[in-house]
């Protein structure tokens, strides 16, 4: 038998051509994006940002292998308006959705479903992050909690740029981790869980001191597990093309619910008196252990996604972002719905929590890992916010020229260690929780509270001023010492925003009209 070999110079040329083709293919393919959005996770709730009681080894690994953004701001102080900022790249003075206004009617029925589901919808003309990336050639998948429009509205995720959706649509249903159904694209699937409200409490014949009494508030199928499984399935299915995963976890939003195997990891670790219900959400026998276990179980699932991306050989060209939609559920040691943000230092030393435009309500733990571009073990104090992700990912996908009418800036230079063009300002307003407004310019932050007090109460407009670079706890109002700066920031707040017909804010709308 005669064996024939290619001449050496032809063999070298063939190998070089193949390598060139592979490199060209890699260079032409934009990076995959896995955006993980926790729900009500505080600045101090993960180890990388100072948490000492709750174990988050995989999220901490993201930080060790990537960059921590230490001054990153959620879109707002509660769920829906924060997500609207993220999806549209417009800040709360311009984005369409400005409160948690819902459209659901009839409450949760005996079968665990509302008669009408969902929040007030974003419009068809609103351009979302998912639409920008899908138009750039990405396959797009959303998983978890939506909250920007019911299944039959213009805001339904499949009508807003997502090729795939799995999870919850409306926020009210998402309060229960053992729902009777979830959305699978535009249809629902039934789950083997009993129907009960996440806002239930004990009956008169039930004993709050008996652990068995709490079993009634637990089901068989844990929604967060199903959602994470669908994330992994989507990544595996989409591995041959650029993909965008929007993983809007419902953890650690109350109700406090977690499977027993995760709860066992924290039982006996500290004093943990029962939460017997009566404060908005279902009881839990070991509420502190439950809160910690929910976060650690979410961390486990983050690790599963990281491992899968590595198994598929996609790590270097995949951007992971981990953040939260607002600050932690606020409360004292008595807690709200059984949570105890003081015990866990969930605020990370910041002032207040969810629902507040002080730092604790909107500065959130944020990590970016992209091995091909982001230096490991780094951090950045650059002021950034949810409105920045749309222009940043458009830049990553090389479609910046398609992005218009956004308030965010491209923070890709920060991520890759280049000089960042400084932002002019970061603006937030929130016509709920008595009405609030804030603006940050450089190291200074102005805050106004009680702009929508109860009816019959006079509106007293007072602007507080904090030098947040040196006063992270916002403990020292120095407005009286800097009247000219206060006047300048008030002017910027008046001029920056656009009034909304759907979400009126009378005090600010009147100012803007002058």
Contacts of 185 by beta carbon, 8 Å cutoff, 6+ apart: 158, 164, 165, 166
CA 428 from chain centre, in angstroms, equals: 16
- Residue where a domain stops, chosen among 415, 444, 475: 415
11 falls in which pLDDT band (50, 70, 90)?
very low
**Separation between Cα atoms, residue 340 and residue 269, nearest integer Å:** 15
Cis preceding-peptide flag for 252 (omega within 30 of 0): yes
Instruction: Locate 300 and state its tokens.
Output: 């486990």
Number of independent structural domains in the chain: 2
Q: How many Å from the N-terminal Cα to the C-terminal Cα in the chain? A: 95
- On the question of pLDDT at 23 being above 50, the answer is no
Model confidence at 333, pLDDT cuts 50, 70, 90, reads very low
* pLDDT per residue as tens digits for the range 209-222: 999 999 999 999 99
Query: Are residue 455 and residue 350 in the same domain, yes or no?
Result: no
In a domain, 321, yes or no: yes
How far is residue 489's CA from residue 440's CA, in Å, rounded to a whole number? 8
Secondary structure of residue 507 in the 3-state scheme: helix
Q: Does residue 21 fall inside a structural domain? A: no
One domain for residues 360 and 488: no
SS3 11: helix
What is the crossing angle of helices 483-496 and 506-513, to 10°?
90
Q: Same structural domain for residues 69 and 107? A: yes
**DSSP secondary structure code for residue 119 in this structure:** B
Polymer length in residues for the chain: 514
Tell whether 336 and 482 lie within a shared domain.
no
Give every CB contact of residue 497 below 8 A, 6+ residues apart in sequence: 93, 94, 427, 429, 508, 512
CATH of the domain at 368: 3.40.720.10
Q: Indicate the Cα dihedral angle 146, 139, 406, 387, nearest 10°.
A: 50
- pLDDT digit string (tens) for 427-436? 999 999 999 9
Same domain, yes or no: 150 and 273: yes
Whether the pLDDT of residue 2 is over 60: the answer is no
3-state secondary structure of 317: helix
In a domain, 428, yes or no: no
User: 114 falls in which pLDDT band (50, 70, 90)?
Assistant: confident
Output phi, psi for 394, to 5 deg: -65, -40
Within a domain: 3:
no
Q: How far is CA 441 from CA 125, 156, 288, 507, in A?
A: 31, 35, 38, 22
112-118 mean pLDDT: 84
Instruction: Using the predicted structure, report yes or no on whether residue 188 has a pLDDT greater than 70.
Output: yes
Same domain membership, residue 478 and residue 411? no
Does residue 20 belong to any structural domain of this protein? no
Phi/psi at 369 (5° precision): -120, 125
Mean predicted lDDT score pLDDT of the chain: 92
- Angle at which helices 57-64 and 287-311 cross, to 10°: 50
- What average pLDDT does this structure show over 70-97? 98
Q: Could you tell me if 280 and 315 lie in one domain?
A: yes
Tokens of 19: 């390598």
Residues 174 and 303 in one domain: yes
Written as six digits, the tokens of 286 are 């070991």
- Give the pLDDT band (50/70/90) at residue 331: low
Q: Which residues pair with 141 in a beta bridge?
A: 164, 245
CA 398 to chain centre: 24
Band of pLDDT at residue 25, cut at 50, 70 and 90? very low
Q: In whole angstroms, what is the distance from residue 104 CA to residue 111 CA?
A: 15
Shared domain check, 324 and 441: no
Cα–Cα dist 471/408, whole Å? 25
Q: What is the distance between the alpha carbons of residues 413 and 279, in angstroms, rounded to a whole number?
A: 45
Q: What is the pLDDT of residue 287?
A: 96
Residue 476 sits in the same domain as residue 360: no
pLDDT above 50 (res 293):
yes
Contact of 190 with 180, CB cutoff 8 Å? yes
Average pLDDT of the segment spanning 459-483? 97
In a domain? residue 424: no
The pLDDT value recorded for residue 10 is 47
- Residue 497 zone, left/alpha/beta (φ > 0; ψ -120 to 50; rest): beta
Question: Is position 59 within any domain?
Answer: yes
CATH number at residue 442: 3.30.1120.10
Can you read off the two tokens belonging to residue 238?
Answer: 């989409």
Q: What is the pLDDT of residue 459?
A: 87
pLDDT of amino acid 116:
85
Kindly state whether residues 340 and 462 are assigned to the same domain: no
Domain containing 43 equals 30-415
In angstroms, the CA 64 to CA 59 distance is 9
For residue 136, the 8-state DSSP code is T
Give 116's DSSP letter: E
In whole angstroms, what is the distance from residue 499 CA to residue 363 CA?
25
Tokens of 433: 């929780």
* Claim: this prediction has a pTM higher than 0.85: yes
HEC-encoded secondary structure of 340-381: CHHHHCCCCCCCCCCCCCCHHHHECCEEEECCCCCCCCEEEC
Residue 306: phi and psi, rounded to 5, are -60, -45
Shared-domain flag, residues 411 and 460? no
Does position 5 have pLDDT exceeding 50, yes or no? no
> Is 18 a member of any domain?
no
* pLDDT classification of 50: cutoffs 50, 70, 90: very high
> What is the distance between the alpha carbons of residues 295 and 301, in angstroms, rounded to a whole number?
10
Element (H, E) at 194: none
* β partners of residue 367: 68, 322
| Predicted pLDDT of residue 28 | 77
Strand-pairing partners, residue 33, are 244, 319
End position of a domain, from candidates 415, 448, 475: 415
């Amino acid at each position: 038998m005669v064996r024939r070999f290619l001449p050496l110079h032809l063999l070298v040329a063939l190998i070089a051509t193949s390598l060139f083709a592979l490199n060209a293919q890699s260079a032409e393919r934009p990076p995959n994006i896995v955006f993980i959005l926790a729900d009500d996770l505080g600045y101090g709730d993960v180890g990388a940002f100072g948490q000492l009681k709750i174990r988050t080894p995989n999220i901490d690994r993201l930080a060790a292998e990537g960059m921590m953004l230490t001054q990153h701001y959620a879109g707002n102080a509660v769920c829906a308006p924060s997500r609207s900022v993220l999806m549209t790249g417009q800040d709360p003075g311009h984005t369409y959705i400005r409160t948690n206004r819902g459209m659901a009617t009839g409450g949760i029925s005996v079968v665990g479903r509302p008669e009408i589901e969902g929040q007030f919808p974003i419009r068809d003309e609103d351009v979302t992050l998912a639409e920008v990336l899908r138009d750039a050639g990405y396959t797009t998948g959303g998983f978890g909690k939506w909250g920007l429009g019911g299944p039959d509205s213009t805001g339904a995720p499949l009508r807003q740029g997502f090729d795939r959706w799995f999870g919850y649509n409306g926020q009210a249903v998402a309060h229960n981790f053992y729902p009777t159904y979830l959305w699978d694209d535009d249809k629902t699937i039934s789950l083997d869980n009993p129907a009960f409200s996440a806002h239930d409490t004990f009956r008169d014949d039930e004993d709050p001191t008996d652990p068995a009494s709490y079993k009634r508030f637990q089901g068989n199928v844990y929604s967060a597990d199903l959602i994470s499984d669908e994330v992994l399935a989507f990544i595996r299915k989409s591995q041959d093309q650029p993909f965008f995963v929007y993983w809007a976890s419902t953890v650690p939003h109350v109700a406090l619910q977690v499977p027993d195997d995760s709860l066992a990891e924290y039982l006996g670790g500290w004093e943990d008196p029962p939460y017997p219900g009566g404060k908005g959400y279902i009881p839990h026998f070991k509420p502190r252990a439950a809160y910690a276990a929910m976060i650690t179980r979410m961390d486990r699932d983050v690790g599963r996604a990281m491992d899968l991306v590595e198994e598929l050989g996609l790590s270097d060209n995949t951007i992971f972002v981990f953040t939260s939609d607002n600050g932690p559920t606020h409360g004292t040691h008595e807690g709200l719905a059984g949570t105890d943000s003081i015990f866990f230092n969930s605020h990370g030393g910041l002032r207040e929590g969810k629902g507040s435009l002080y730092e604790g309500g909107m500065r959130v733990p944020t990590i970016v890992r992209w091995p091909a571009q982001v230096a490991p073990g780094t951090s950045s104090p650059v002021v950034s916010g949810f409105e920045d992700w749309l222009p940043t990912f458009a830049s990553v996908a090389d479609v910046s020229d398609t992005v218009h009418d956004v308030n965010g800036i491209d923070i890709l230079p920060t991520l890759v260690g280049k000089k960042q063009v400084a932002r002019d300002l970061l603006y937030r307003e929130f016509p709920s929780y008595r009405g609030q407004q804030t603006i940050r310019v450089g190291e200074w932050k102005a805050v106004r509270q009680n702009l929508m007090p109860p009816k019959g109460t006079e509106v007293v407009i007072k602007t507080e001023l904090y030098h947040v670079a040196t006063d992270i706890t916002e403990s020292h109002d120095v407005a009286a010492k800097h009247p000219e700066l206060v006047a300048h920031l008030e002017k910027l707040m008046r001029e920056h925003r656009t009034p909304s017909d759907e979400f009126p804010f009378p005090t600010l709308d009147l100012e803007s009209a002058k």
